[in-house]
C-alpha cells in the first residue's frame, strides 16, 4: 500500500482572502509580527497500489481533475510505502 501526501496551494499571484482574514485575526490577538498568511489544503490518501509510478499517475490525475484548480492553484505531492 502507498500513501500520497498532497499539498495544494494558491499560486503566489492569486489573492488569498482566507489568509488575509487569518492575518487580521492574528493581529487582533496581538500577533502583530505576522505580515502575511496563506491558507492551503493538505490531503492524505492511501492507494491500494504497489507501483510508485502508477500511483504517481493516479495522484496527478486526481489532482488535475478534482483537488486543484489549475487556473489558481498548484500542487506538490510525495508518495511513500506504508505498512508491510
Whole-number pLDDT of residue 32: 97
Provide mean pLDDT across the span 13-40.
97
**How many C-beta atoms surround the C-beta of residue 10 within 10 A?**
19
Q: Beta-strand (E) ranges in the chain?
A: 2-10, 41-47, 73-81
Determine what percent of the chain is predicted with pLDDT higher than 70: 99
- Give the DSSP letter of residue 14: S
When divided into structural domains, the chain yields a total of 1
Question: How far is 23 from 8, CA to CA, in rounded Å?
Answer: 20
Q: Which domain holds residue 23?
A: 2-81
Question: How far is 73 from 54, CA to CA, in rounded Å?
Answer: 23
* Per-residue pLDDT at 83 exceeds 90: no
Distance of CA 2 to the CA centre of its chain: 18
SS3 24: helix
The pLDDT-based confidence of 1 (bands split at 50, 70, 90) is very high
CATH number at residue 77: 3.30.1280.10
Amino acid at each position: 500500500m502507498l500513501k500520497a501526501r498532497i499539498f495544494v496551494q494558491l499560486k503566489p499571484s492569486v489573492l488569498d482572502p482566507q489568509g488575509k482574514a487569518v492575518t487580521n485575526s492574528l493581529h487582533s490577538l496581538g500577533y502583530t509580527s505576522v505580515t502575511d498568511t496563506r491558507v492551503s489544503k493538505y490531503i492524505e490518501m492511501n492507494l491500494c497500489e504497489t507501483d510508485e509510478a502508477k500511483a504517481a499517475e493516479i495522484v496527478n490525475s486526481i489532482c488535475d481533475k478534482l483537488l486543484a484548480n489549475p487556473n489558481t492553484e498548484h500542487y506538490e505531492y510525495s508518495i511513500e510505502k506504508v505498512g508491510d
